[in-house]
Every structure is written in C-alpha cells, then in structure tokens.
A = this chain, B = another copy of it.
Amino acid sequence: MLKVGIIGASGYTGAELARILSLHPEMELVLATSRQYAGKSLATVYPHLQQYRDVIFEDVELAAMGERVDVVFTAVPHGTAMAAVPVLLAHGVKVVDLSADFRIHDQQTFEKWYCPHTAVALLPEAAYGLCELYRAEVKKARLVANPGCYPTSVLLAVAPLLKNRLIDPATLVVDAKSGASGAGRGAKVGSLYCEVTEGFRAYNIGKHRHTPEIEQEVSLLAGCPVTLSFSPHLLPMSRGILSTIYGVMAAGVTEDDIVSAFDAAYGDEPFVVFRGMDQLPATQEVRGSNRCHIGVVQDRRTGRIVVVSVIDNLVKGAAGQAVQNMNIMCGLPETMGLLQQPLFP
C-alpha cells in the first residue's frame, strides 16, 4: 500500500484526488496539506468525504513529508509547485504535479506566459503526462507534469489527425468550453452562482495560458511549429470540458482515413472512446469518470474536419489523469482506482 500525500488538498482538485484515492486498492491518503483549513478534517471541509473524518488538513514542512509518504500529488498554483517539487524529489518521493510548472519544456516560453522559473534544472526530466501519448516516458519518470484540462481535451482530439497528416495544422481553430469548477474554489464574484447560472461568456480569447501548452504538443505532433487560435468559454455547469476543433482537411482524405486514424490511436485505450463519424459527444456522458469521448465530422462543403471531444475537467482533466500517471509511474495497473462510471443524469 503506497502512502500518498496531497499538497494543496483543499481545492476542488484536491478533493477529487481524495475521492478517487478512497477507493484505490493500493494507495492510501495519509497526508493532506492546507494552510487555510489546517486542523480541520477533510470531512468537515467537504461533507461528501465522510470517509476522511480522521484525515486532518495540516500545514506541514515539505522536508518533513519525505518520511511519511511514498508519492505526492501537488495541487498548488503555478509558481508554488516549482518550489515544492525539488524538495520532494530530494527525499525520494515520486511526484505528479498538477500545476503548469513543468508542462512547458522551453523556459523562455514558460516565462513569457507565466512567471520566472526557479527549478529549470528539472524541466528536461519532467515527463508530460498525457498518458496516451507519453506512456513510456511516464513509466520512467520520478516527476510527471500533469497536463492542463483544456490541453487534455484538445490533444486527444487532434493527435490522430496530426500524426496521420489528415489536417493542416496552420489552420487550427480551437473553441473550448469549460464548466465552472475549472476556476477553482476561490471566492470570486465572477464565480458566484448568480453570475454563472443561465449565462455563457467567452474569456481570455487569444491570451489563455493553456495556449502555449497546446501549441507545444501540437507542434511536436505536426513536426513543425504551430500557432493556433484558442478561445475558452465559461459554461453554466460544474464539471466538463467540450472542445470543438476546426482544421482544413488535407487533400484526398477519406472517411476511412479518419476512422482508421482514431481506431489505431484509441482502439486499445481504456479511457478514450472514439464515438464515430457524426457521433457528437456530450459532457454529461463522461461526468465523474476518467473518460474522453471523441466524435468527428468530415464537412465536404467547407473542406474542414471538425472534431469534438469531451472530458470531465476534474477527472481526466486533473485528478483522474494524475492517478493514472501515478499508477504508471509505480508499476500498478493503469486503470486501478479509476473505473468509477460516469454519473448520469
């Protein structure tokens, strides 16, 4: 049984990690940190987590964690994680970092979109934890950068098309929509029920920090530098991301080419389901699960391919994928603890 710590456990991602771990047969949550809620139990702060009446939030020294845990999930903001991770690694702990700090390989790009980087030496060894693309790297890593929620939904959707040269990467437009849990549990006016319900807005068009992360991976898949349009929107719902992705079709592409590309990519994947041509997925059908569903439209009138993908941003877009990565890093079955089914309705 692996002893698990969560740094920054009081946010929605931390709570979701706790929820998933509660049914994991080989991992046990033994340490959860939170400055704000130190001294309170997880069950007090999150009444749905009654099984954690005895796990108390602590405000603990990082150095002291090494002896108490085998593996750690860091669920703190960018900038904070880069300070914690080197200390944890120095104590022999495996880390899945859910912040952005180790996702961008290029220091300059990271610092342009985020902030100065203080753990540059770790950038080369951090594996980018999109398991379906980087399983081998994750297996060998002691540090995995868990992908962003939007990038997960986008990259799983376009990878088969880019790898098989079915789409022109220079024409990519990504129109993405996320539920409100993506903004976290911080008390902000913009996240209030009355501000979000029965409404819909775009935000940060062309400026969202997930843009360079998506471009890095799309460029690697395409084999050339790619710049793309990325427009996030805020949905009046808690969980779920749906990305609609447009690109000009390569010459002569057939429906068979598309189907084959997706079948080859995901036919054996436990968590990615290609729903088929013209089968458009809905976020409801993956809610609460680690799945990604994908549908594709080949629009001959316009010469474009449109891909639609859905994930639960807190599971496959965060906590679930983090556990999936940790399973791989620790030599456990990849799906262990992750077979909770979607909750519908």
Contact = CB atoms under 8 A, between A and B. Distances in A.
Contacts of A196: 193
A206 B299 contact: yes
Contacts of A51: 341
A286 B177 CA distance: 20
Interface string A304-330: 101010100000000000000000000
A342 B122 CA distance: 37
A198 interface: yes
Given A51-B341, A306-B206, A198 B284 contact: yes
Interface string A254-293: 0000000000000000000101000011111111110101
A239 interface: yes
Nearest to A187: B187
Interface stretch (A41-49, A96-104, A142-150, A159-167): A41-49
Contacts of A299: 205-206, 229
A259 B237 CA distance: 33
Nearest to A282: B201
Counting every copy of the chain, the complex holds 4
A326 to B, nearest CB: 18
A48 B342 contact: yes
Contacts of A339: 23
Contact of A197 (B177, B197, B199): B197
Given A236-B235, A299-B229, A188 B191 contact: no
A207 to B, nearest CB: 8
B194 A195 contact: no
A119 interface: no
Interface string A23-50: 1000000000000000000000011111
Interface in A222-255: 227-229, 231, 233, 235-240, 242, 244, 246
Given A175-B244, A275-B47, A345-B12, A201 B280 contact: yes
Given A177-B200, A199-B237, A205 B280 contact: yes
Nearest to A248: B171
Contact of A194 (B50, B189, B302, B345): B345
B229 A281 contact: no
A227 B301 contact: yes
Contacts of A197: 193, 197-198, 236-238, 345
A219 interface: no
Given A48-B287, A193-B191, A202 B240 contact: no
Given A49-B341, A197-B238, A242-B201, A185 B192 contact: yes
A343 B290 CA distance: 13
The 10 tightest CB contacts between A and B, nearest first, are: A199-B284, A201-B282, A194-B345, A48-B342, A206-B299, A193-B196, A175-B175, A47-B285, A48-B285, A48-B344
